[in-house]
Structure 1
Amino acid sequence: MLNKKLLATLICSTLSLTACGLDDYSHGGDDDDDNESSNQVEVSLRILETSDLHSNIMDFNYYLGTDDPTIGLARTASLIDEARNEKTNVVLVDNGDLLQGSPMGDYIAKKGLNSGDTHPAYKAMNTLDYVVGNIGNHEFNYGLDFLKNAISGADFPYINANVYCDSYECWDKVQKGDNLFTPYLIKEKQVLDNKGHKQTIKIGYIGFVPPQIMQWDAQNLQGKVRVDDIVKTAEKFIPIMQKEGADIIIAIPHSGIGSVYDIKVNDIENENATFALTYVEGIDAIAFGHSHAIFPDKQYEGLYNTDIIKGTLNDVPAVMPGRWGDNLGIIDLTLKRSDGKWIVEDSQSESRPIYQDKAQVEASLDIRQAVEIDHLGTLEFVEQPIGKASSNIYSFLSLVQDDPSVQIVSDSQLDKVKQQIANISSLNHLPVLSAAAPFKAGGRHSTTSDSEQYVQVDMGDLTYKNAADLYVYPNTLVALKINGSELKDWLECSANLFNQINPKNETTQQLINWNNHPTYNFDVIDGVTYQIDITQPSKYDSDCQIVSGQENAARIVDLTYTDETGYHYTGGEFAAMDFIVATNNYRAFGEKFAGTGVNNIVLELPDENRDVLARYITAQTSAHGEVTSVADNNWRFKTIATDTTLDIRFETQDSTKADSFIDENQQRSMTKINNDELGFAVYQIDLTTDITVE
């Protein structure tokens, strides 16, 4: 039988036609398979990814009230346009963590979304032709009803494979045991191959979210949904997608890289499972997120079976594009058809920044216009007055000494919990403490925009904008009952923020453990006093797992509780005591730090910590004319006894404001040395000279 293409060619030749549409044929046809040259067909496919936008739609810093070229989908949109124009075959996906994390997100949550309303994030994203979106953990922060109303405004479908209905009936008549969202999609994509011919490729998309949402947002999710392990869910659905005809499969996990070892021992505990996903057969590319970091990047140099030049994890093409729109993730796949199947022949990944030494792109006017009304509403929202501060509240030194931005949050939590337990006889006799962490202290020290991530609240009149700057998450207030032994271990894990300092080493030693301990996990616990001995090894890693061989390590020393009579509880007497610790739902339900977890929770309030803070500022201002905004210096580093001249360094913001604040507030001698490649100021700190802390 004559090949149909050959027959068509002869007909065209006979008729002297110039256009018979011979380039318009699709993948998978029997006639193509009969053609020997079909095995040489290649297609270049570009995957674009945004992730962790956290409602940073505008290129604007609402805390400072100024344009900010380092953030915002308005800028990323211009990169998207550029990246599309460079290639013929392009798809755009979003990884999640979209609805929370900026004043605009707070404004919309406070105002509420009714059925039919469109969230400004989707007003913007609907202009960009996204093919699919994944659900991130912060999508659940405002509850399931808010989430449903929000995503209904998206002009693109949403996927998630590992969240299941756990109620008798969930939304849209989803039944118990069924996926709450569409677990995966297989979409046909018309593409042009290397010969200029049209092909049809079936692209599969599958999304995941950390199982820890059941702890982080327990009040919104318990009894309503369940969340399965990421890798086990992938192993369940990927073969199904292949049977249903997916030519290639793109995984979109809202999950960091995670451990490259013991990848089979991940189960429900594994929040960061991307590397483990690379072992799941059938996944052709991974567009991941959650960690607010960049991949490929030199910080992952030396990671097992990782190529930071090509951008692969365990030979799987992968990309992670930072956060807040500061980068666009790009994966370029070269697909080759072999024996009727499409395989990844080659790949190249990159995270393309919107700002690098200077702005790389201008903002999209379409995006700005799409959210103009919401932008104006946010500006009005953040300027609502709430009180007055006694002094400047800056977080430039929050990683090296007790800090006012952490202190005021802690004080507000302490005040609220004391009020709440005053009439609870089983609790009101126990000492109340408060745990808080620096949320804005240089980000992850991984991008140039991180150097701007510091609290900068000036003394004097305060607004809701300032409260949102001091407490950036919509956490709710929770209280735990723990003993002194657990409290010490909680602090031991927090102290993993610091690298171990060798008191006999004259070479430069870095103080902050940027790579392995997020600053938001550096909890300071107020109501007790203590010192941190950083010459000792860390007992715990960043996941609060005991480091092998360091079971008896102790960095927390002189841990003391002083009661109202002035009696000091220390040592075994302290360890045996019970305490109430005010914190947030993320920490309380997280079960990471000692003493946390549902079994220790004694008080769970619906109040957001940020609103508790705002009301505290208002009440203190009303009672005293202003709120006290100075640190009480309840913790410090233990002075290092050595005859060696030490060169210990830390990073903070490089600005005139930071210079002045450090000069006026340093408890130890600090000398500015230089700047690092990310634009942070590098300071030398003297930890060998005794200080007196009042």
Structure 2
Amino acid sequence: MKPASFIYRSAEYRSGSEAATFTPASKRHFSLRLMATTDLHVSLTGYDYYRDQDTMHMGLSRTAALIEQARSEATNHMLFDNGDILQGNPLGDYAAEHRYWHNEQTGEGVHPLIGLMNMLDYDAATLGNHEFNYGLAYLEQCIAGADFPYTNANVYEVKEERYQPLLAPYILLHRKLYDADGAAAELCVGVVGVVPPQIMNWDRKHLEGHIEALDMVIVAKQAVKEARQAGADIVVLLAHCGYAEEDTPTISENAVLPLSRLAGVDALFFGHAHKLFPGEEFAGRPGVDLEQGTIHGIPAAEPGVWGSHLGLIDLELEHTTEGWSVVTGRGTVRPIFDPVSNRALVEPIAALEQAAAEAHRKTLDYIHTPVGQLDVPLHSYFSLVTDTPVVQLINEAQRYAGARLLEQTPYAALPLLSAAAPFKTGGRYGPLHYTAIVPGGLTLQHMSDIYSYANTFCIVRLDGDEVREWLEWSAGLYTTLLADEEQQSLLDAAFSPFNFDVIDGLSYRIDVSVPPRYSAEGELLHADSHRIVDMTYKGEPVTAAMEFAVATNQYRAFSTPLANPDGQRVIVDAGVENREVLIDYVRQYEHIAPIADHNWSLCYGGEQSITSVHAVFQSSPDAREWLNQHPELAFVQLEPDGFATYRMSVPVKE
């Protein structure tokens, strides 16, 4: 790639050629509305390519209606994007694989999602981790089509042992603001963006030897300082990272809390975790004021995923001849859909739907490509509470591919296991976010539905104790159950379900009567606690002396310490997507009928005078159809948000 063309020549942008009209010496007050999207994941419109149907829950063409509405309410406004726009559904995969929108001869063309962003007149954007999934050359092609500048402060290109910024570490946007009387003044807005440094692990095959990603907090601190020195009156921080209760500037994936403490930051948009801030999930957490929408006093917003919400930060500014100051600020989010009334709150913008039509048509043709035949139904409704065929299928495909890759290596004799997680399990993505495939023809759309991430296939070598520790972390999905509680929650909302690995090839039980050994972030919580019990391989107890090869993906292999304790355990880095592994497996057998082998289950190792304990969890209302196959499960009630609550009877361990 050509780094010089990747970096903006100037980090300073003006909105027009007219000179600013400055206010008199007396104090003037101005309102400025900042808006942001985050984690759009190629959701141009409200079409769910995994389910192959329209939905009212997503799509930039609907978020655009909120943008228009928010602009109409404010004289002064700016619009930003916080990253993760290029990957996340089959449209993104197709656009990257075929690059039909890019003319190789002229080097011109606009990625379909960026084309919509151009129509909406974004002011600036930053990169998310998924921007790197398809390589640096593709990233450069995509952002070259943007009519707005990109910024990132913590990714550097390695050039002859020298570091230079991949993008402008900060940008300066000059905007003319108007007060209530129509008087104008020029405001210089500094914009700084950061991305998790874990991209170096997650997309190692694309990035190693080409770039380095540094700590977000340390680098942002310097970039904010430089933006201020360069003339920024206020600074907006676009942080593509989540919130975790870590308040020190470490090499963290979720550094919002320490970032919110940086001097010189006036507004903070964040994302990556697909959550809503302000929202009840953040109640009582350090630094958070939900009523005001601030973190450590800095107005902030995290507007969900797929364009489901628009993030808003409303600033009240004061201007004198001495300069600008922020008087107050408030962060909020606005939804495109109301789950209680089950209705859309806005209609999509027709011009954007029309602009997305070609990309949509090409994607539909692509995802309808036949792959094989399914002889049994597949669904993920209960994949977090019991073994299911949909996860079984992924693990069978990975073990099949792993055996072939290991055949001619020194590791061919190692027992081969496979680790896979259920990907579509509702949660913050809503009650429609489940895999549900009926018997019949399988297409590429179904393969994306089953394995919805662009992960690549890897194999790690671990001993028996290390495999156990991996499963101990995975078992952190569950709360600690009590024998005398009826309505206790089974699932810990802080634990991301896509981190709940089922390791196939072993048999084991998860004892939910004891506290989790690890936190959701993999930190040791209770050194004496062990949830994984009765773990065996071919009927024999698993010991530290045993060694295994475990098929997995690059996220686990390169960035999860409990799956790769010393960072040296990868024995195969295939570079092929796990989804392709799944597709090849289905094509090999043509007809498939996966059956869960129930190699794992939950148990309760506490009070022995009872036969089971009860806990509740949420899933789709459609899951009721399958309850006759699960006597341990029972329907409780429908919920206002569209989910249904179910009760599970967890057997007491003998």
Deviates further, 181-190 or 592-601? 592-601
Structure 1 residue 508: deviation in Å?
1.7
Structure 1 residue 690: deviation in Å?
8.1
Structure 1 residue 154: deviation in Å?
1.2
Structure 1 residue 25: deviation in Å?
5.8
Residue 410 of structure 1 aligns with an amino acid whose one-letter code is: N
Q: Given that residues 48 and 90 in structure 1 are in contact (C-alpha distance below 8 angstroms), is that contact kept between their aligned partners in structure 2?
A: yes
Distance in 2, matches of 1:464 and 1:267, equals 40
Residue 8 of structure 1 aligns with which residue? none
Pairing 1:250-649 to 2, within 5 Å after superposition: 250-259=236-245, 261=246, 263-264=247-248, 266-268=249-251, 270-337=252-319, 340-356=322-338, 357=341, 358-424=343-409, 426-442=410-426, 445-446=427-428, 449-503=429-483, 505-514=484-493, 516-547=494-525, 550-562=526-538, 568-571=539-542, 574-595=543-564, 598-621=567-590, 626-639=591-604, 642-643=608-609, 646-649=613-616
Distance in 1, matches of 2:476 and 2:445, equals 31
Structure 1 residue 594: deviation in Å?
3.9
Structure 1 residue 288: deviation in Å?
0.8
Residue 669 of structure 1 aligns with an amino acid whose one-letter code is: E
Are 1:664 and 2:646 matched, yes or no? no
The secondary structure found in structure 2 opposite 1:559 is: strand
**CA separation of 1:596/1:359 partners in 2, compared to 1, >3 Å: closer, same or farther?**
farther
Residue 229 of structure 2 aligns with an amino acid whose one-letter code is: K
Structure 1 residue 524: deviation in Å?
0.5
State the superposition RMSD in angstroms.
1.8
Residue 648 of structure 1 aligns with an amino acid whose one-letter code is: A
Residue 70 of structure 2 aligns with which residue? 83
Q: 2:649 aligns with which of 686, 689, 692?
A: 686
Structure 1 residue 184: deviation in Å?
0.8
Distance in 2, matches of 1:526 and 1:647, equals 26
Structure 1 residue 145: deviation in Å?
0.8
The secondary structure found in structure 1 opposite 2:598 is: coil
Q: Given that residues 488 and 616 in structure 2 are in contact (C-alpha distance below 8 angstroms), is that contact kept between their aligned partners in structure 1?
A: yes
Distance in 2, matches of 1:215 and 1:545, equals 19
Distance in 2, matches of 1:49 and 1:532, equals 41
Distance in 2, matches of 1:102 and 1:95, equals 18
Distance in 2, matches of 1:209 and 1:457, equals 35
Superposed CA deviations along residues 349-397 of structure 1, whole A, max 9, x for unmatched, are 2110000131000011111111111100011111000001121110000
Distance in 1, matches of 2:70 and 2:188, equals 22
Q: Given that residues 461 and 549 in structure 2 are in contact (C-alpha distance below 8 angstroms), is that contact kept between their aligned partners in structure 1?
A: yes
**CA separation of 1:119/1:192 partners in 2, compared to 1, >3 Å: closer, same or farther?**
same
Deviates further, 86-95 or 629-638? 629-638
**CA separation of 1:24/1:196 partners in 2, compared to 1, >3 Å: closer, same or farther?**
farther
Q: Given that residues 557 and 563 in structure 2 are in contact (C-alpha distance below 8 angstroms), is that contact kept between their aligned partners in structure 1?
A: no
Residue 48 of structure 2 aligns with an amino acid whose one-letter code is: N
**CA separation of 1:643/1:195 partners in 2, compared to 1, >3 Å: closer, same or farther?**
farther
Residue 122 of structure 1 aligns with an amino acid whose one-letter code is: I
Residue 323 of structure 1 aligns with an amino acid whose one-letter code is: V
Distance in 1, matches of 2:19 and 2:573, equals 62
Whichever of the two has the greater Rg, that structure is 1
Residue 109 of structure 1 aligns with which residue? 96
Structure 1 residue 597: deviation in Å?
6.0
Residue 271 of structure 2 aligns with an amino acid whose one-letter code is: G
Pick the structure with more strand per residue: 2
Superposed CA deviations along residues 275-300 of structure 1, whole A, max 9, x for unmatched, are 11111100001011111000001111
Q: Given that residues 608 and 652 in structure 2 are in contact (C-alpha distance below 8 angstroms), is that contact kept between their aligned partners in structure 1?
A: no
Distance in 2, matches of 1:167 and 1:577, equals 44
Residue 30 of structure 2 aligns with which residue? 43
Distance in 1, matches of 2:641 and 2:544, equals 42
Superposed CA deviations along residues 559-615 of structure 1, whole A, max 9, x for unmatched, are 1111xxxxx3315xx221111010011111113324356410011112111111011
Superposed CA deviations along residues 123-156 of structure 1, whole A, max 9, x for unmatched, are 2111000001110000000011111111111111
Are 1:139 and 2:131 matched, yes or no? yes
Q: Given that residues 603 and 652 in structure 2 are in contact (C-alpha distance below 8 angstroms), is that contact kept between their aligned partners in structure 1?
A: no
Q: Given that residues 311 and 319 in structure 1 are in contact (C-alpha distance below 8 angstroms), is that contact kept between their aligned partners in structure 2?
A: yes
Superposed CA deviations along residues 417-441 of structure 1, whole A, max 9, x for unmatched, are 10011111x1001001100001111
The secondary structure found in structure 2 opposite 1:508 is: coil
Distance in 1, matches of 2:159 and 2:475, equals 40
The secondary structure found in structure 2 opposite 1:191 is: strand
Are 1:125 and 2:117 matched, yes or no? yes
Structure 1 residue 117: deviation in Å?
2.6
TM-score (norm 1): 0.88
Q: Given that residues 588 and 596 in structure 1 are in contact (C-alpha distance below 8 angstroms), is that contact kept between their aligned partners in structure 2?
A: no
**CA separation of 1:25/1:92 partners in 2, compared to 1, >3 Å: closer, same or farther?**
closer
The secondary structure found in structure 2 opposite 1:81 is: helix
Are 1:150 and 2:133 matched, yes or no? no
Deviates further, 345-354 or 113-122? 113-122
Residue 3 of structure 2 aligns with which residue? none
Q: Given that residues 157 and 164 in structure 2 are in contact (C-alpha distance below 8 angstroms), is that contact kept between their aligned partners in structure 1?
A: yes
> Identity, % of aligned pairs?
36
The secondary structure found in structure 1 opposite 2:592 is: coil
Q: Given that residues 512 and 604 in structure 2 are in contact (C-alpha distance below 8 angstroms), is that contact kept between their aligned partners in structure 1?
A: no
Q: Given that residues 513 and 604 in structure 2 are in contact (C-alpha distance below 8 angstroms), is that contact kept between their aligned partners in structure 1?
A: no
Q: Given that residues 489 and 615 in structure 2 are in contact (C-alpha distance below 8 angstroms), is that contact kept between their aligned partners in structure 1?
A: yes
Structure 1 residue 206: deviation in Å?
0.3
Distance in 2, matches of 1:159 and 1:486, equals 40
Distance in 2, matches of 1:317 and 1:61, equals 32
The secondary structure found in structure 1 opposite 2:217 is: helix
Residue 14 of structure 2 aligns with which residue? none
TM-score (norm 2): 0.93
Q: Given that residues 164 and 176 in structure 1 are in contact (C-alpha distance below 8 angstroms), is that contact kept between their aligned partners in structure 2?
A: no
Structure 2 unaligned blocks of 5 or more: 1-17
Superposed CA deviations along residues 621-679 of structure 1, whole A, max 9, x for unmatched, are 1xxxx112221111001255544674410110122xx2112x2331x421211133432
Deviates further, 140-149 or 117-126? 117-126
The secondary structure found in structure 1 opposite 2:524 is: coil
Residue 172 of structure 1 aligns with which residue? none
Structure 1 residue 688: deviation in Å?
3.2
Q: Given that residues 336 and 343 in structure 1 are in contact (C-alpha distance below 8 angstroms), is that contact kept between their aligned partners in structure 2?
A: yes
